[in-house]
Amino acid sequence: MVDYLGIEDLLTDEERMIRDLAREFTDKEVIPLITEWFRSEVFPRHLVKRLADLEFLGADLPDDARPAVSPVAFGLLLRELERGDSAIRTIVGVQSMGMFILANFGSESQRARWYRQFATGDRVFCFAMTEPDHGSDPASMKTKAARTRGGYVLNGTKLWITHGSIADVAIVWAKLDGQICGFLVEKGTPGFHATDVKGMLSLRASVTSELSFQDCEVPEGNLLPRTAGLRSALSCLTEARYGIAWGAVGAAQACCEAALEYAKSRTQFGRPIGSFQLVQEKLVSMVSELTKAQLLCYRLGRLKEAGKLTPAQAALAKRDNVRMAIGVARAARELLGANGLVDEYHVMRHLANLEAVYTLDGTDHIQTLFVGRDITGVSALA
């Protein structure tokens, strides 16, 4: 594994143990099969339960059933999962977000009903905020909730929702009396329909869906009582961006290591291509960028552990680490030549996935403007 500055020395024994557990899982249960899943657009549903058995789902959240791991440990396990594939890291990321939402915005009865079911993988969750016409501008969402006798009725459409059609419960963000609130909508609720997005060239081992709500009635107890305005939804995205920053390092690491191995074994003009100056320059640049991203993640994790992580810092990390990963993947593809186009080497699969990661949970432009607002005090969003 590429660890040029010895970040390993900064980790605790527990963090190393969790990292190694996730690494072993990825090497044995993901990498040997991921190419076929990606080719066939198969979501490995069985891994939800397997990841739960490893206690990876919501691992960084306090739970009566087990202690929480450190944010760095959680980041490391996400890094190792994305070294296999972004879709696998997403399983843990999405389920963990559901647990985060219940812990922070749910009622006691909601937590009692759903929290452990998300943690054990018995129920799958999805986060429904993005709409066909409102991605980067969630404040303008059109999905609305209206009060009825005994509950609420939802109308609207959500798009690009990870796990949407397989989720047992969706947390849907809608405007209630002009204020954005979260609602728990169970699969099978009349008026709730989910269809998968077809033709995806990225995240093919995942499920991406459109959700529609037509006079969809939900009980009064399904309103998340502590959601109040857009700030609640955006706090969930900060959690997601933290995980993406770590995951991007895993994808980049896989590509960098593939390029290093190839450069040492591929012979041209009677010598390994790794002995040529232009190839070494590429490899050094890849290792350099990867090392900076590893350091950024480590610092981010320690800030989160201390309760000091800000949304803008998470946005900065998501922006820079995904950019880095795409650059490393493209350089690796170029270095492998035509072999880089073949899925046997995994590089193009990671590059394709990273193109989606570049956009989801806030585009690169949006992350830039979040950080710009933070450092200048002036918003360029409106």
List, in sequence order, every residue forming a beta bridge with 174; answer none if it has no partner.
181
pLDDT in tens, 238-297: 999 999 999 999 999 999 999 999 999 999 999 999 999 999 999 999 999 999 999 999
Least confident interval from 226-230, 322-326, 332-336, 339-343: 226-230
In the chain, the domains with their CATH numbers are 7-119 (1.10.540.10), 125-227 (2.40.110.10), 231-376 (1.20.140.10)
- What distance in Å separates the CA atoms of residue 155 and residue 18, rounded to the nearest whole number? 43
- pLDDT at residue 253, rounded to an integer: 98
Cα separation, 224 vs 155, whole angstroms: 17
Residue bearing tokens 């986060």: 127
Core vs surface per residue 147-180: b (16+ CB within 10 A) or e: eeeebbbbbbbbbbbbbbbbbbbbbbbbbbeeeb
Among 214, 220, 211, which Cα is nearest to 152's?
220
Q: What pLDDT, in 10s, does the model give residues 21-59?
A: 999 999 999 999 999 999 999 999 999 999 999 999 999
- DSSP run (H or E) holding 70: none
Residue 233 pLDDT: 86
pTM of the model: 0.96
pLDDT at 66: 84
pLDDT in the model for residue 101: 96
DSSP H stretches of helix in the chain: 13-25, 31-40, 46-53, 71-84, 86-105, 108-110, 116-119, 230-265, 277-305, 311-335, 347-357, 364-376
